[in-house]
Amino acid sequence: MPNSRFSRTLLAVALTGATALTQAPAAFALSGMAQTKPVGAQGIQPAETAPSVKGTENQHSQATPPAAEQPAATPEAEGETEQAIKAEIIHDFSKLPEPVRKLREAIVEAAASGDVERMRPIMDPGAKKTDGPDQNEDPIETLKSFSGDTEGLEILAIMLDLMQTGVARIEAGTPDEVYVWPYFVGKPLNELTPPEKVDLLRIVTAGDLAAMDEAGGYNFYRIGISPDGKWKFIVSGD
């Protein structure tokens, strides 16, 4: 019997030692994970903000670094967040500053006339106001180059459609503040309501809209007016 008790004691010690050895690597692995800090600057989300994978929350809860060790949000990331919320969408034109409202009305009247030359006094030649192959060329010739016809009628029709939608007030209160038509430039396309999608489809085709969804935003023609009622630009593309 003494030998039997001694044998059981040796067996218990041996099992305890084996259990400790098998648990040691797991404990070391968790410790190593806890010392690894997420690298937010390289596009890897910090542990407390990264989306969890279903069924793995409990596995990683012990490995999450303390809040004090989490890297601060980078200025670039904060800037991207701010840009996403800076646009104010305005549909009631009576709420626009009077100079902006008056220039909009002048653009609508000129575009509806069918005479592209009526855009000349509006566009303030001599400054970098329109995009095109040559920024120094005549602004009316630039407008005509955007048009599918030689008289510039198509671009006038596009401008008329743009100015009849709502407007996005961008960078409000800063030196870069500008009122941009159409308002889709200031709102994610996946947040558009059905009536807003109808507004957009008055300007572009369904195929264009699908391409914009893939590109990540509205990228057709935009017209910009400064808060003091000066023509800023007409541009297209990203």
Domain boundaries defined on the chain: 2-82, 89-235
pLDDT in tens, 17-72: 444 433 443 333 323 333 333 322 323 233 333 333 333 334 333 444 444 444 45
pLDDT of residue 136: 61
pLDDT of residue 55: 38
Q: Is 65 exposed, middle or buried (0-12, 13-18, 19+ CB in 10 A)?
A: middle
* pTM confidence score: 0.62
Taking the C-alpha atoms of residue 80 and residue 122, their distance in angstroms, rounded to an integer, is 33
CB neighbours of residue 36 within 10 Å: 11
Residue (of 180, 159, 165) closest to 227 by Cα position = 180
Query: Which residue did the predictor score with more confidence, 106 or 237?
Result: 106
pLDDT of residue 41: 30
Taking the C-alpha atoms of residue 132 and residue 140, their distance in angstroms, rounded to an integer, is 11
Q: Is 27 exposed, middle or buried (0-12, 13-18, 19+ CB in 10 A)?
A: exposed
Q: Express as a percent the part of the chain with pLDDT over 70.
A: 58
In this prediction, residue 229 has a pLDDT band, given cuts at 50, 70 and 90, of very high
Which range (18-22, 134-138, 169-173) has the least confidence? 18-22
Query: Which residue did the predictor score with more confidence, 42 or 160?
Result: 160
Residue (of 183, 146, 159) closest to 108 by Cα position = 159
> What's the whole-number average pLDDT of the chain?
72
DSSP labels, 120-177: HHHH-TTSS-B-SS-TTS-HHHHHHHHSSSSSSHHHHHHHHHHHTS-EEEESTTSTT-
CB neighbours of residue 221 within 10 Å: 19
In this prediction, residue 150 has a pLDDT band, given cuts at 50, 70 and 90, of very high
Q: Which amino acid is at 68?
A: A
pLDDT of residue 179: 98
pLDDT in tens, 180-217: 999 999 999 999 999 999 999 999 999 999 999 999 89
